[in-house]
Amino acid sequence: MMRGVLILVAASIATAALGATQRPSVVIGSKAFTESVILGDIATDLARQAGAGTAQRRELGGTRVLWDALRHADIDIYAEYTGTLAREIFSGRGVADSRPALAAALAGEGIVLGPPLGFADGYALAMRAERAGTLGIESLDDLRRHPQLVLGFSNEFMARGDGWPGLRRTYGLPQTDVRGMAHELAYRAIASGAIDVTDVYTTDPNIRAYRLALLRDDRGFFPSYAAVFLWRADLAARAPQVVAALQGFRDRIDTGAMRRMNAAVQLDGVDDRAVAADFLGLAPAAASADSLWSGLALRIRQHLFLVAASLAAAIACAIPLGVVAARRRVLGQVILAAAGMLQTIPSLALLVLMIPVLGIGGPPALLALFLYSLLPIVRNTHQGLVNIDSALSDSARALGLPPLARLRLVELPLALPSILAGIKTSAVINVGTATLAALIGAGGLGQPILTGIRLNSMPMILEGAIPAVLLALVVQGAFEMLERALVPRGMRRRRSHRAG
C-alpha cells in the first residue's frame, strides 16, 4: 500500500513537470462566460495567424484566477475590462479609472494594457423598447418623471456601490417598488410586464431577443467597462509578431458585433470557435473530432487522476499525522485544529489561494484537494487509535512488543475500520470537490458543468454532473468492498467482549 502511494505521488509530480516542459509558445485564457470565451478564441486566432503555437485555458473561474494566472505566467493573454481593472484588480490601491493610470499600474506588474477592442460591456438600465417609446423615456434622467415604474434588478446590482444605491442618489430616482431577482428571471419578468426596468450588460444578446431599449447615462454614472486584451510584457521577446497583431487589433469590435457574436453562441448554439473565426473572416477551425464518449472518457480520466493522486498523498500524510496526534496530546490538538481549519476554507477559495504559488491547472488543484482530504483521515486515525480498549493496549505492551511493532501489529489493525471510513469519506468528498478544479483549469468532470452553466444548457451540465455522481457512488462501493476484504472477520461483528 505504502509503495502504491509513493508511485502515485511520484506520477503526479512527473505529470505536472511534463506538462510544464511541453508549454506552447503562447497561452490564451478566458473567463467562464461566453463573451470572454469568444474574445479568447479571437486572440488565439490572431496569435496563430501571426505564426505562433497556441494553447487555450478556457473557462477559468473568475477575474482573480485569470489575473493570478497571468502574473504567474500560466497564461500570456486574456481579455479584461477597464472597469474591472480599476474596481476589482486594483481596488483599494487608488488607481484612477483612466487608460494612462491603468497602463502604468499594469506595467508595474509586468503586464501590458492592449488597445481598446472597440466596445464596452458595462451596466445599463433597459426597458421594453415599446413601453419606453410610449412613455417617452430615453435616458436615466427621464425616469424621474415616472415614479410609478416597477424596477427589478439582479441581486448583485442591488448590492454594488456602482449599482442601484449609487444610481438612485446620482439621478435622484423616486421609484419605491424595487425588487431584487435572479438575472435570468428579470428578462422574463420584463417581457411579461411584471417589471418595467432592469439592469443589463450592454453586450447581452437578450437585449435584442427581448427587444429592449438601453437608457442613456447622461451623467456618466456607470463606469466604463471597455474591453481590452492584457498580455505579459515578456511576450514581446518571445513572440513579437503576436504582440504586433494584438497592438494592431484596435477598435475592431463594436457593441453590435459583440452582441451578435454572443447571440450566435448563446441563443443559436453555434460553436464559439466558429463564431470567432467567422468574425475574423477565417476558415472555421476543424471541429474537434472528440465524440461525446471519448471526451467523457478523457474527463473521467482527468477527474480520477485528480482524486486518486490527491487522495494517495493525503493517505500517506494523514495516517502518520493521526498517529502522532494520538500519541502526543497537545501536538494532537494542534494537528486536528489545523486540519479542521483547512476544511472550513470554502473549496473555491482554497483553489484560488493556490494560484499565486502554483499557478493554474493540475498542481494547485491537486494540492487543494490534498489539503481537503486530510481532515477526515487524520481525525479517524486519531479516533481509531485513541478508542482502542486500554486492556488491549496493555496486553500488547505486556507481551513485550516495542512501540513501532505494537503500532503495526496491533494498534493500526484495530483502528483500521475507522481509518478506512475516514479514507472513504475523503474520497467521496474529493470526487465532488474535484468538479470545482475545472475553475482553475485542471479539467475533469467540472468542465462540461461550467460550459453548461455558461450556455444555460442542461444536457451539458448533466454530461458532467451524472458521471460525477456515478463516480462518487462507484468510489463509495469500491471502498466498502475494500473494507470487507481488509477488515478481518473477528472485527466485523463488533460484539462486545465486556460482560460487566
Count residues near other proteins (CB under 8 A): 29
- Asked whether position 498 contacts other proteins by CB under 8 A, the answer is yes
User: Could you tell me the smallest distance in angstroms from the CB atom of residue 412 to other proteins?
Assistant: 10
- Return the number of the residue (202 or 383) whose C-beta is nearest other proteins: 383
Q: Which is nearer to other proteins, 3 or 493 (CB)?
A: 493
Phi, psi angles (nearest 5°) of residue 146: -130, 70
| Region from 47-55, 220-228, 370-378, 485-493 binding other proteins, contact rule CB under 8 A | 485-493
| CB environment 116-127: b (16+ within 10 A), e (fewer) | bbbbbbbbbbbb
Closest separation in Å from C-beta 405 to other proteins: 6
Nearer to other proteins, 251 or 394 (CB): 394
Q: Is 409 in the site for other proteins (CB under 8 A)?
A: yes
CA–CA gap between residue 54 and residue 276 (Å, rounded):
15
Give the amino acid at 400. G
CB of 322 to other proteins, least distance (A): 18
Matching residue, cell 486574456: 78
Q: How far is the CB of 396 from other proteins (least distance, A)?
A: 8
Of 257-316, binders to other proteins (CB under 8 A) are: none
Instruction: Considering the complex, state which of residue 296 and residue 416 has its C-beta at the smaller distance from other proteins.
Output: 416
**Smallest separation (angstroms) from other proteins to the CB of 382:** 19
Within 382-401, the residues that bind other proteins by CB under 8 A are 391-392, 394-401
| Residue whose C-alpha is closest to residue 383's, from 420, 408, 430, 342 | 420
Contact segment (CB under 8 A) with other proteins among 44-52, 93-101, 265-273, 406-414 equals 406-414
Determine which residue in the list 3, 93, 329, 493 makes contact with other proteins, applying CB under 8 A. 493
Helix axes 292-327, 2-21, angle to 10 degrees: 130
Which residue, 161 or 490, has its beta carbon nearer to other proteins? Answer: 490
Question: Is the dihedral angle over the CA atoms 385, 389, 394, 400 positive or is it negative?
Answer: negative
Is the Cβ of residue 3 or residue 489 nearer to other proteins in the bound state? 489
Under the binding rule (CB under 8 A), the answer on residue 499 touching other proteins is yes
Q: Which residues bind other proteins (CB under 8 A)?
A: 391-392, 394-402, 405, 409-410, 413-414, 416, 487-491, 493-495, 497-500
